Amino acid sequence: MQPLENQIHSSMVRVWQINSLITSGIGLIITIAYFIFMMKFDWTGWIFGALVIGLLAYAPLGYLVFPSLRQRYHSYQLNEEEMEIQHGMFVVKRVLVPMIRIQHVTIEQGPIMRKFGLTELKVSTAAMTHGIPGLTMREAEQLKRQISELAKVSDEDV
């Protein structure tokens, strides 16, 4: 499946890598804590083994492989009638959001994304919210204004 017209920023790969390191660190803390409790209270060892195997499998994939795949398959396209968003690594989803259904648009920026100058644009309908991560603040503000204008025009047409 080909990506849509607009790709997300390449710095988003680094943001996802940092998130993966944080997740792996939390997993390591849980694994060590389980090991300590296993030794002290004679808990079963197979759970510790599963935690170690899971951590050893997730850590390199979550840091080296998944972020670049996520960036490759995240894209979006905007026209007068609808917004199309594509995302997913293994199962690639393409979501079509009609302008007439958009209720509001928000821009979110966590501390890691802020460090890299990136934001996530969220488009809300009555049913759910769709996000486009990895936009610069300028891109997100411009896209927010475009969507707002197009959604207003769609409402007037009804």
Determine the Cα–Cα distance for residues 146 and 158; give it in Å rounded to an integer.
19
In this prediction the pTM is 0.87
The pLDDT value given to residue 35: 95
Determine the Cα–Cα distance for residues 60 and 26; give it in Å rounded to an integer.
15
The pLDDT value given to residue 1: 66
Local confidence pLDDT in tens for the 158 residues of the chain: 666 789 999 999 999 999 999 999 999 999 999 999 999 999 999 999 999 999 999 999 999 999 999 999 999 999 999 999 999 988 999 999 999 999 999 999 999 999 999 999 999 999 999 999 999 999 999 999 999 898 875 555 44
Delimit the domains of the chain by residue range. Answer: 6-71, 75-157
**Whether 21 contacts 14, CB under 8 Å:** no
CATH number of 75-157: 2.30.29.30
**SS3 state at 41:** helix
Determine the Cα–Cα distance for residues 40 and 76; give it in Å rounded to an integer.
52
